[in-house]
Amino acid sequence: MTYQEDAKKVIQIEIEGLQAMADRINGEFDQVIELILNSKSKVVITGMGKSGLVGKKIAATLASTGTPAFFMHPGEAYHGDLGMIAPDDVIVAISNSGETEEIIRLLSFFKDNKNSTVAMTGKSDSTLAKHCDFFLDIGVPKEACPLALAPTTSTTVTMAMGDALAVALMNARDFKEENFARFHPGGRLGRKLLVKVKDVMRKDKLPILSPNMKFDEVISVISNGFLGLGVLLNGEKIEGVITDGDIRRALQSEKGKALDLCAKDFYTASPLTIDCEEKILTADDLMQQRKITALLVEDQGSFCGILHLYDL
């Protein structure tokens, strides 16, 4: 057997585990979603070992998609971190066996604290499943580990169940790109959705052309501007634009006479513009659609800057 065959076998086993879990999802999943939606507090994920590592990812996914959540280590919880738990918090306890000691010994606190509890376990008859208010079945036919010891299929399935919760909650809340960006202001999507054109456009040392500027001067201004274009203005209004392409076309069509041209003889009128208040995501989409690398920016109809693809 080749290593590729090993890989394909592992992936197939995990696919079968995911399908088995999907087939068992029922109305209790809906009840968990309603529980979280109706909660005015947080979702607290807890789990030991590999389940804990997956739980951290689930908590992070929930938090970044509109559901306040955090991960609590069950061992640390038993030594003081239970003070983080408010009575209205929803507890999601992850244990494949449903018998993890560090989690089981917290159940009495959750009950006394009047927390709603969700067991995410592979054993419907386990202590965890029996003593929680809701049960999400993450049981798998077999682990991908050939020794059936290392959590493999079970962790994949647990991760998928967490993703299912997050996405269902996103859909229920009508969570949009703009909402996602608020929680990811440092990411590329967040920046594009939150930052406006005026915040990143170039405003200084712009390549401005006058109508009677000679051909060689036009080339010099465009070259020194490092944007591949020059802007022809009529007062504060945009008259047109001359790009590197316009220069090449003028040289090809006019040949030796090109050097006698002025800017007003070969500019492109009514170039594409964007308002300075637009989001840079809109600008990026526009540049990709039109296959251009720069946009002229206007503020209430007056030229105010240039946005280049490199600024996004």
Average pLDDT value over all residues in the chain: 92
Maximum separation of any 2 CA atoms in the chain, in Å? 91
Rounded Cα–Cα distance for residues 222 and 301 (Å): 23
Residue with the bigger pLDDT between 94 and 192: it is 94
What pTM value is reported for the model? 0.69
pLDDT at 78 over 90: no
How many CB atoms neighbour CB 192 within 10 A?
18
At residue 6, the 3 state secondary structure works out as helix
Return the structure tokens found at 309: 């693809």
How many CB atoms neighbour CB 87 within 10 A?
11
Residue identified by tokens 């501007």 is 225
- Band of pLDDT at residue 303, cut at 50, 70 and 90: very high
Counting every residue written for the chain, the total comes to 312
Name the E strands within the chain.
43-47, 69-72, 90-94, 116-121, 134-137, 208-209, 229-234, 237-243, 268-269, 273-275, 294-299, 302-308
- Band of pLDDT at residue 136, cut at 50, 70 and 90: very high
DSSP 236-259: TEEEEEEEHHHHHHHHHHHGGGGG
At residue 124, the 3 state secondary structure works out as coil
Phi-psi region of 223 (alpha: psi -120 to 50; beta: other; left: phi over 0): alpha
Lowest mean pLDDT across 12-16, 122-126, 174-178, 185-189: 185-189
pLDDT at 177 over 80: no
- Band of pLDDT at residue 147, cut at 50, 70 and 90: confident
Return the structure tokens found at 304: 């105010």
**What pLDDT was estimated at residue 148?**
82
Backbone angles phi, psi at 22, to 5 degrees: -60, -40
- Band of pLDDT at residue 57, cut at 50, 70 and 90: very high
Q: How far apart are the first and last CA of the chain?
A: 48
Measured on CA atoms in the order 126, 130, 131, 133, is the torsion positive or negative?
positive
Rounded Cα–Cα distance for residues 131 and 117 (Å): 9
Q: Which structural domains are found in the chain, ordered by start? A: 3-175 (3.40.50.10490), 197-311 (3.10.580.10)
**What pLDDT was estimated at residue 310?**
86
Residue-wise pLDDT tens digits, 15-46 = 999 999 999 999 999 999 999 999 989 999 99
Answer yes or no: are the C-beta atoms of 239 and 266 closer than 8 Å: no
- Band of pLDDT at residue 1, cut at 50, 70 and 90: low
Pairing mode, strands 208-209 and 229-234: parallel
Answer yes or no: are the C-beta atoms of 71 and 59 closer than 8 Å: yes
| Residue 160 CA, distance from chain mean position | 18
Residue-wise pLDDT tens digits, 182-212 = 666 656 666 677 789 999 999 999 999 999 9
Residue-wise pLDDT tens digits, 232-285 = 998 999 999 999 999 999 999 887 788 899 999 999 999 999 999 998 889 989
